[in-house]
A and B are shown apart, each in its own frame.
Chain A
Amino acid sequence: MSQPIRLKTPLADADVEKLQAGDKVLLTGVIYTGRDAAHKRLFDLLKEGKPLPVDLKGQIIYYVGPAPAKPGQAIGSAGPTTSGRMDAYSPKLMEIGLKGMIGKGMRKKEVVEAMKKYKAVYFAATGGAGALLAKAIKKAQVVAYEDLGPEAINRLEVVDFPVIVVNDTQGNDLYQQGMKQYAK
């Protein structure tokens, strides 16, 4: 197995351009949570030309709705949700500088094209490993849309958060490559 690449956020074009589908990456720094409802709100603000509650330039959004933290925990279980539901909003966010997305499951062609165009990558985290992944999250703070409960935008501080590159800036797709390799 190849050694994981260590990356610090925020990400620059040069950071994401060197990533290849299949690369294992350990992320350290700040990442933001956001899923269905938060994406819709961000998208609507952009449509109206209004400022966003967080600056997404160079940032990574993690598609997650965490479980509530128990006393003494930074965050409850926090694995990825299905990314496809964010497809309608993602190209617009990449256009304003979003560099990475973490989720699970396939992305639409338009999203993969936008990753090539705006230099961004899509990472998968292990779906259903929420208890394990929460260990890499050291701090969580709601920074917008508290009323959305588990769908609020959180600022997470992560150390060596394990992900794998599914779609890179060249249009490669690990899901397709992997399936092709093992199909009988």
Chain B
Amino acid sequence: MREINAKQITEVVRKLCIDSNLYLGEDVLKALDEGEKKEESPVGKEVFQQLKENARIAREEQVPICQDTGLAVLFVELGQDVHIVGGDFNAAINEGVRQGYKDGYLRKSSCHPFARTNTKDNTPAIIHLEMVPGEKIKITVAPKGGGSENMSMVNMLSPSDGIEGVKNRVVEWVKQAGSNPCPPIVVGVGVGGTFEECALTAKKALLRPLGQKNPDPQLAAMEEELLTRVNNLGIGPQGLGGRITALAVHVEMIPCHIASFPMAVNINCHAHRHKEAVI
């Protein structure tokens, strides 16, 4: 049994909120470089240059990459041999979000769904908690912007639709989303599970580093085919026409009910942000 103070959780979450919004990951920067090289459209190339310049300004001047600093989505892997002391776990996380969004000059985007009044501190955080063996806590903060999140879907397909059905639905969906989710995008696809687990699986697919294929050869092939098909749509950077609509397509799969065939799509914009820390 290892004791971890709630204050330490707050401090880590605070820092992750700021860092994830300011510093674009090396994998994304590399994907932007490669995208710029492959892009044939002159306007599209220019967009890639703007995005790289934007990431540089954000990093050097310590300002958010995008003004939409998102809802604070957290994935927490809690070691079963950890005992949290000195405060409430959820409150500690929310306090970290509150401090991070204030101290980092990040936008507060959380509001009442009907009244649309802002909660003013970007809480409550969205917390996905998983218990794992060990005596550590791994926290990932993945701020999620509204523009890309609005282009999400869950579809309860019929088992008879098969893998082709899933692929076709993904391509149709990205086509329909068009310029809205700020292409070049990263497409997360979840297959299987239940309604809610499928959506979460699609979101988790976005956490995998860019350039890393699914270890399952069938899913890796599916990712490659989907990336080609999505990029053949011609939507291009910012939807202005071009070769690169998506930087990557990530597919994750889990077993489902014999009667079901759920699939979900969750899209990230090019500000593909997440940072993790282990306590």
Interface residues of chain A, those whose CB is within 8 Å of chain B, are 1, 22, 36-37, 64-70, 73, 76-79, 81-82, 84, 104-106, 124, 126-132, 134-135, 148-151, 164, 174-175, 177-184
Bound: A90/B188 CA distance, A: 33
Q: Which residues of the partner chain B approach A129 to less than 8 Å between Cβ atoms?
A: 50-51, 53-54, 66
Contact of B234 among A67, A124, A126, A181 (CB under 8 A): A181
Least CB distance, B38 to chain A, in whole angstroms? 12
Bound: A22/B240 CA distance, A: 9
A179–B51 touching, CB < 8 Å: no
Known: A128-B66, A174-B240, A178-B240. 6 other contacts (CB 8 A): A81-B146, A128-B269, A132-B53, A178-B43, A178-B234, A180-B234
A175–B105 touching, CB < 8 Å: no
B234–A182 touching, CB < 8 Å: yes
Q: Which residues of the partner chain A approach B241 to less than 8 Å between Cβ atoms?
A: 174-175, 177-182
Q: Which residues of the partner chain B approach A126 to less than 8 Å between Cβ atoms?
A: 47, 50-51, 54, 238
Q: Which residues of the partner chain B approach A179 to less than 8 Å between Cβ atoms?
A: 178, 233-236, 239, 241
Q: Which residues of the partner chain A approach B53 to less than 8 Å between Cβ atoms?
A: 129, 132
Least CB distance, B67 to chain A, in whole angstroms? 4
Bound: A132/B61 CA distance, A: 11
Contact of B150 among A82, A149, A183 (CB under 8 A): A82
Q: Which residues of the partner chain A approach B11 to less than 8 Å between Cβ atoms?
A: none
Instruction: Return the chain A residue nearest B145 by Cβ.
Output: A128
A68–B105 touching, CB < 8 Å: yes
Q: Which residues of the partner chain A approach B123 to less than 8 Å between Cβ atoms?
A: none
A105–B180 touching, CB < 8 Å: yes
B107 at the A/B interface (Cβ < 8 Å)?
A: yes
B65 at the A/B interface (Cβ < 8 Å)?
A: yes
Bound: A79/B50 CA distance, A: 12
Chain B: residues with Cβ within 8 Å of the partner, total of 51
A84–B180 touching, CB < 8 Å: yes
Q: Which residues of the partner chain B approach A177 to less than 8 Å between Cβ atoms?
A: 241
A164–B147 touching, CB < 8 Å: no
| Interface membership of chain B positions 236-249, coded 1 if the CB is closer than 8 angstroms to chain A and 0 otherwise | 10111111000000
Contact of B65 among A37, A64, A77 (CB under 8 A): A77
Contact of A67 among B46, B63, B146, B271 (CB under 8 A): B63
Bound: A52/B118 CA distance, A: 23
Given A67-B67, A134-B63, check contact A150 B54 (CB 8 Å). no
Q: Which residues of the partner chain B approach A127 to less than 8 Å between Cβ atoms?
A: 66, 147, 182, 238, 269
| Interface membership of chain B positions 47-72, coded 1 if the CB is closer than 8 angstroms to chain A and 0 otherwise | 10011011101100111111111000
Bound: A132/B46 CA distance, A: 13
B179–A105 touching, CB < 8 Å: yes
Bound: A126/B32 CA distance, A: 15
Least CB distance, A20 to chain B, in whole angstroms? 14
A66–B107 touching, CB < 8 Å: yes
A78–B178 touching, CB < 8 Å: no
B58–A131 touching, CB < 8 Å: yes
